[in-house]
Chains A and B, each alone.
Chain A
């Protein structure tokens, strides 16, 4: 007889295979309902899940959004450069943890994978004083530069 007993605090929460499941979920939505449905889904997900982050932006509290991103990348154990200056948040990464894990497993990220950035954060900024711009995105590795900035800035 083999027995294992664990408390939640015995381990860290980092199940990278969820990136594969996420890719399969998006692939399924695209295949069955079309690419526009994927965008619709990501907007709905963002509206629901990122509601507290949207409130930060409405309150002009970009610092809380910065903290959120620092914490998320820390949990992912993923290298990133996060710069914050004068109402602008810039996030630069050499690769995406999701794309990297999916490729490492010998699988292919869906071609719309970048929408987990662009669509999700554009939806988060909608109706706030902030705008999101995905300045570049490399579909192979997920290297990208993201900016959150006030709408009245160039």
Chain B
């Protein structure tokens, strides 16, 4: 069994394995596949139906279930949604598993999968990944 509580190291090793087999471009194609399939009925549907509020609805569920340490802000007047991740549970787990080496570009999957969904819907998704070594990051979604 691979418990959902152990998925993150399996995911990280999965990225590494795909890169070993098919190169870095294949990892990108996997992220596209994941975005198209995994987010189709969740984030894409919510933002299509509720606009920027759909981002809040999607991440409220996901980040609470992942027991993240975060601040999430929705400003519908400015059409802006923002996440300040004080401690990303996924990256923190990988850092804490000190006997394993996280996939080097692990955090890259977030901008890859989310921007692919949001940009065709008329939103810009940007991230600050400069602090991921401390499991911290931020993401902003704005109307184009």
Contact = CB atoms under 8 A, between A and B. Distances in A.
Interface stretch (A48-56, A59-67, A82-90): A48-56
A18 B71 CA distance: 22
B128 interface: no
Classify chain A's interface size. Answer: 35 or more
Interface in B66-110: 66-77, 87, 89, 97, 99-100
Interface size class of B (residues with CB under 8 A): 35 or more
B26 A5 contact: no
A29 B14 CA distance: 9
B67 A13 contact: yes
B72 A15 contact: no
A75 B70 contact: no
B67 A12 contact: yes
B1 A11 contact: no
B73 A13 contact: no
A16 interface: yes
B3 A72 contact: yes
B117 to A, nearest CB: 15
A7 interface: yes
A49 B6 contact: yes
B6 A72 contact: yes
Interface of B: 1-11, 13-14, 17-18, 21-22, 26, 30, 33-34, 37-38, 56, 60, 62-77, 87, 89, 97, 99-100
